[in-house]
Structure 1
Amino acid sequence: MPRSLRPRAGCGARTGGSSRAGRCSAPSPCATSSTTSCSGPGGHIGYGIRPSARRRGLVTWALGEVLPVARRMGLDRVLVTCADDNVASARVIERAGGVLEDVRETELGRARRYWITLAD
């Protein structure tokens, strides 16, 4: 089983945009099979989206795509985090089944930690 997997969403497929460097607006979720990597602020799955591409459902779509990949990697649940003040990201994680574990101080600031149980 690979240590990490980084499926990249096709830039033009979801956004109708160009896939040229600098114009890609699709997030890059990452699922890792290592549970020890969860001790940091990021968790199993991370994503980012440039401000001009927000509010298009890209992160919701990408998170939905990567959860089955994490399951195929043998994970029963994944940790997904977001900044404590990032209401939109918290809402996406909660809609994907995330259950809030706690809010912690990290080297990146206060972070909300959610666990998502993966279905068989």
Structure 2
Amino acid sequence: MRFGDDFDFSVRIPGGGQQPRGKALMQLSAGARDQLHLAVRLAIGEFLSRGREPVPLLVDDCFATSDDERARAGMKLLIEQFAPRHQVILATCHRARHEAFAALDRGLYADKVCRLEVKAPSWVG
């Protein structure tokens, strides 16, 4: 992955050379695209935090289109690698899925993940 001065990026795809973002994204599954976008956000967060206060990361269902194995691995990456230096806020409507991950990785989630359930106001359908 390469970033330009404007934070646009290109991706090296095996056997295909360096591809601009738009062309690269068309060759990936929805789950792989979401994972790539998360990787881009993490890289930008690290870049913006160099020598400064770490920036927070707010993501909305970044694993919604990933299979369980990749979503679980992605959560482990966020918790183990990114969260020690950055505040990570993950919004999701897949509560049961994340509860299952927490049950599988109790030690990882125990002291590092705080869940907050936000209920919609009564006037919302």
**TM-score scaled by length of structure 2:** 0.39
Q: Which has the higher helix share?
A: 2
**TM-score scaled by length of structure 1:** 0.40
Q: Which has the higher strand share?
A: 1
Q: Which has the higher contact order (CA 8 A, sep 6+)?
A: 1
